[in-house]
Chains A and B, each alone.
Chain A
Amino acid sequence: MNPSKNRRPALLTILVLSGVLSITGIVYAFVNEAISLALEAATPYVEQGFEVREDNWSGEVEPGKPLLIRHQLFRGNEYWFWAGTSWPGATIKVDIFDNEGNSVGLESFAKDSFAGVRTLPQKTATYFIRVVASYDKKAEGLTSAERGANDPVEGVGEFSGSLDWGLVYGYR
């Protein structure tokens, strides 16, 4: 079974609705979709007792350019970091490293627009979270929607050269 085929209806829905909203001038400027998607990835873990923070990181980045985020962690807590990107067809990965650059992720997943990594800090210190958002505009086997609507109408849905990204975290 091809997972990308399963996502096509949802992604098409996203694209069509986004396009309609843009055209009609309805702007959700106050909504950060990448953060919303990262929070959706966090939802199952809230039921496991993780407290998800309101504060977060977000922005735009060139595809493939790694981002490094510093963050204070406390030994004795367990942490999940969840990342998201809302651009159709884009993927995102998230890893975590200690202050010497050693990978300290114990478990992770990366599923298209979502990714997550879990860690149990061995000491209280500053850690580094690496986020990489990628997008292959010419990827074969994807629908035009998944490629990012490569047939734009007056600029709507055209890939601008940067991807949105968002990162949230939870602890328990």
Chain B
Amino acid sequence: MSCRLQSPFLRLLAFLVFTVGATPSGRAQGEAEPAVPERIDLTNFPGELVDKVVVPIPAEIFAVLDKLDEPDWNSGIELPAEGEQGRDRAILALIFGSLVGEGFIAVQAKNSDEIQKIGRRVLAISESLGLAGAVRPHSLAIIESAGKNDWSKVRDELDATQQTVRTTMESLRDDELSGLVSLGGWLRGTNVVTTFISNSFSEDKAELLNQPGLVAHFRTMLGSMKGSSGKSPQIRAISTGLARLEAIITQSEAIAEEDVNQLRDISRAMLDEYYFIKP
């Protein structure tokens, strides 16, 4: 992400604060270490637990996988054929998130052509969601940065695209849709990661799938969906899939090779419900 302030006014203020009050590069070493308790009691925390869950982007997991192995990221790209997406906004939100997840895979593969295709598809689906105005600048930046092989910028813009859509949805009181965007991206990322780990298993790689808190968060989110979307066959199938993923992930700390294979198949079946739909 580009670290930028959102207005010239704030840029000026931040510049003044930093130039007068601090030397950023020396702060971590130069400032006195604040007193930190060695241990806190999480069961009796004297404060407030923040509800909001920030879902990691697939690139965070991909970065670790790249340190442990040399996955053939190009083999992981699987952009579904273009077709009728329907009008259910919940499904469109899931597809949007999964397309962004696809973009992160293509960035890892440094595949400029695929990223540009994905950038255009992201814009098309945002039009169906009525959010093209907010997404277009990011989509164009994705396409342009991919043309320049500026992978870091593409990653930033994919994250920004997802965030812009989620923020816009939340401002329109569409919090449910915002959560579905995150779920779609997480699911696509999880599926490709499980596929790579299945192909070349190691306990270190399998540990990346130890995410029970996130699975529980998504289950709660789907369980609290209101309206007809929450009762659609696709959402119910995804909900069931999450329950199956949770059962595997939480049964033990170490995730075995057979567990990874199951996680791969379940996540694929969930994506088949709305993303890899057979024509």
Contact = CB atoms under 8 A, between A and B. Distances in A.
A113 interface: yes
Contact of A10 (B16, B38, B40, B50): B16
B47 A65 contact: yes
Given A55-B163, A102-B39, A118 B5 contact: no
A141 interface: no
Interface in B201-232: 204, 207-214
A138 interface: no
Nearest to B61: A74
Contact of A116 (B28, B152, B160): B28
Query: Counting chain A CB atoms within 10 Å of each CB, which of B38, B48, B68 scores highest?
Result: B48
B155 to A, nearest CB: 7
B213 A126 contact: yes
Contacts of A44: 24-25, 27
A98 to B, nearest CB: 9
B33 interface: yes
Which residue among B25, B27, B59 has the maximum number of chain A CB atoms within 10 Å of its CB? B27
A6 B25 CA distance: 18
B204 to A, nearest CB: 8
B211 A72 contact: yes
A107 B32 CA distance: 11
A103 B37 contact: yes
B56 interface: yes
A90 B50 CA distance: 20
Interface string B45-57: 1111110111111
A72 B53 CA distance: 9
B20 A57 contact: no
Contacts, number: 192
B36 A103 contact: yes
A59 interface: yes
Contacts of A123: 207, 210
Nearest to B64: A76
Contacts of B39: 97, 101-103
A46 interface: yes
Given A72-B213, A74-B64, A114 B22 contact: yes
B42 A51 contact: no
Interface residues of A, dominant DSSP = mixed
Interface in A13-52: 13-14, 17, 21, 28, 30-31, 33, 36-37, 39-44, 46, 51-52
- Chain A: number of interface residues, binned into ranges: 35 or more
Contacts of B207: 75, 123-124
Contacts of A111: 21-22, 27, 31
A66 B63 contact: no
Given A10-B16, A17-B13, A124 B3 contact: no
A72 B63 contact: no
A59 B50 contact: yes
B39 to A, nearest CB: 5
A155 B25 CA distance: 38
Interface of A: 3, 6-7, 9-11, 13-14, 17, 21, 28, 30-31, 33, 36-37, 39-44, 46, 51-57, 59, 61, 65-72, 74-77, 93, 95, 97, 99-103, 105, 107-116, 118, 123-126, 128, 130, 169, 171-172
Given A70-B213, A111-B31, 19 more contacts: A10-B20, A40-B18, A41-B24, A43-B3, A56-B54, A59-B50, A65-B48, A66-B46, A68-B45, A74-B60, A74-B208, A76-B208, A77-B64, A97-B42, A99-B42, A101-B39, A108-B28, A111-B27, A128-B42
16 contacts: A9-B20, A10-B19, A10-B20, A21-B9, A36-B10, A55-B166, A67-B48, A68-B45, A68-B50, A70-B213, A72-B214, A93-B34, A103-B38, A116-B27, A124-B211, A128-B42
Interface of B: 1, 3-7, 9-10, 13-14, 16-22, 24-25, 27-28, 31, 33-34, 36-42, 45-50, 52-57, 59-61, 63-64, 67-68, 152, 155-156, 159-160, 162-163, 166, 204, 207-214
